[in-house]
Structure 1
Amino acid sequence: MGIFAFTVDGEDTTELGVRLAEDPVGEAAMYFDFASRRPSQLFPGSLTVEGRSPQSSIPQADLRTAYISLDTHAGEWTATFFLNATECGDLRTLNLVQRKAKAATDELTDYVRAAAHRFAWVSITYNAPRSDNRPSLERAPTGRWKHPVSDEPLLEFLSLPFRLAVIQELMYEQDLLKPRFDVYDFAADQGDQSFNPEDTGLECIPSVLEWFRTLPIPARLAERVEEIVFDGGNEIYLQLIPQWDGEDGAFHMESLSESDIVALPQLKKVQDLGGFLGLQARTALIRCGVEVI
């Protein structure tokens, strides 16, 4: 039926998914092996939100800023519709400045409407009202997200946004830096400090930011970084702000120390797809012989 479920602990379902359309481009870009886990069939029915089509249920203001996904709500339920990257892929090539300029018109809305299969899949979650009388279900932390003590040389960076971009490349692109961080597992493994990542708003989750800030990065991996991509769709940003829409400057990098750049001797190219780099940071990279596009 094209319906699947996500779970953190193998027992409780945290969200439901419904596969609406074929999207080979989007599925190939998933940070986990989505293609082998999602249903082979598409949902054969007609999915509506309180009787309305998905597009009709999404606020017009949100459609004007369409990028990767769009949210709509029905009571305690949230449905996140993921745009079909195969048919709407041009949206991901726009940087932040371009998207903001187009958000003042209906250009992005019309582009989404023109797609024959505009949404690839939808994630459905239920935000149960909390009760002070509900018994606690917290489990003690396992310690699996505690950083081990390292006895080898480590990479250090003055710029946190640059560090995050390096981690994106080593952890989520090359799968070299372990463990592969998952904010939902991390949040559920905090004992009495456990939380729901979906309830954290549009700011970096402090404990997650601290985890990435203090993550040991072995210096031996420096030579494996030949290219860095600054893109609002990078997985590390969605770990830090699960609800982030890429529309603010949360991860912009206005300046960059040359010491950070030379720490990566094989770095040859930086792609600034999201328009994250300030003039000083861009100039520093070029001065060090790095191609910036």
Structure 2
Amino acid sequence: MTAFRDFDFKLLVVEKLMYWDRTLTPPFSMSAYMRKKKGVTSLYDYVEDNGLAYTVLDEARDFFERLHIGDELLATVDTLVLDGGHQVYMECAPVWDGEDDLSDVRSLDDLPLLPNLGRIIGADSCGIDVPGKHETLAARDIAVD
């Protein structure tokens, strides 16, 4: 089984495959999950009432950490986009505003899992907090915008 080292890097891959390409199915919905498992009718109220704003919910972390992504799907990823408004982030941290480093990638050790990755959009402005990121990406012929 493919194991990611950086949870937030995996979330970028999940965003691409699950919410953009719709090839990793079914799409995960935190609202539906919490309604079914815990009877939560308002995810926003649940998060606020339990002091969970601006954090990744344990249930989402568990789901996405356990989520298997096969090599054949990983090979289809040619572009990743860094954007604080991704659907996967709303599923993980429903009231997060994308304005801090909650979902920053802190390691590029997972790059070999994406053999056809050729471009990362947004890496210049935000989202990857890795010293030497430009050199690492350039060494793999990954364009950065």
TM-score by length of 1: 0.44
Q: Which amino acid aligns with 1:197?
A: L
Q: Which amino acid aligns with 1:157?
A: F
CA distance in 1, matches of 2:80, 2:14: 10
How far off its partner does 1:282 sit? 4.0
The alpha-carbon distance between structure 1 residues 283 and 197, as it changes in their structure 2 partners (threshold 3 A), is farther
Secondary structure of the residue that 1:244 maps to in structure 2?
coil
More strand by share: 1
Residue equivalent to 1:185: 32
C-alpha contact (below 8 Å) 1:232/1:246 kept by paired residues: yes
Residue equivalent to 2:50: none
Q: Which amino acid aligns with 1:239?
A: E
Q: What number of residue pairs does the alignment pair up?
A: 136
The alpha-carbon distance between structure 1 residues 254 and 282, as it changes in their structure 2 partners (threshold 3 A), is farther
- Deviation sequence 1:143-193 (CA, Å, 0-9, x none): xxxxxxxxxxx4321111111100100000100001111111011111xx3
Q: Output aligned runs, 1:102-113, within 5 Å.
A: none
CA distance in 1, matches of 2:83, 2:127: 8
Residue equivalent to 1:244: 96
How far off its partner does 1:271 sit? 0.9
CA distance in 2, matches of 1:281, 1:234: 22
Unaligned runs of at least 5 residues, structure 2: 48-52
Secondary structure of the residue that 1:224 maps to in structure 2?
coil
Moved over 4 A (4+): none
TM-score by length of 2: 0.86
Secondary structure of the residue that 2:75 maps to in structure 1?
helix
The alpha-carbon distance between structure 1 residues 280 and 187, as it changes in their structure 2 partners (threshold 3 A), is farther
C-alpha contact (below 8 Å) 2:15/2:87 kept by paired residues: yes
The alpha-carbon distance between structure 1 residues 171 and 184, as it changes in their structure 2 partners (threshold 3 A), is same
C-alpha contact (below 8 Å) 2:54/2:102 kept by paired residues: no
Q: Output aligned runs, 1:1-293, within 5 Å.
A: 154-190=1-37, 193-195=38-40, 196-198=42-44, 199-200=46-47, 201-257=53-109, 260-272=110-122, 275-278=126-129, 279-293=131-145
Instruction: State the percentage of identical aligned residues.
Output: 25
Unaligned runs of at least 5 residues, structure 1: 1-153
- Deviation sequence 1:60-89 (CA, Å, 0-9, x none): xxxxxxxxxxxxxxxxxxxxxxxxxxxxxx
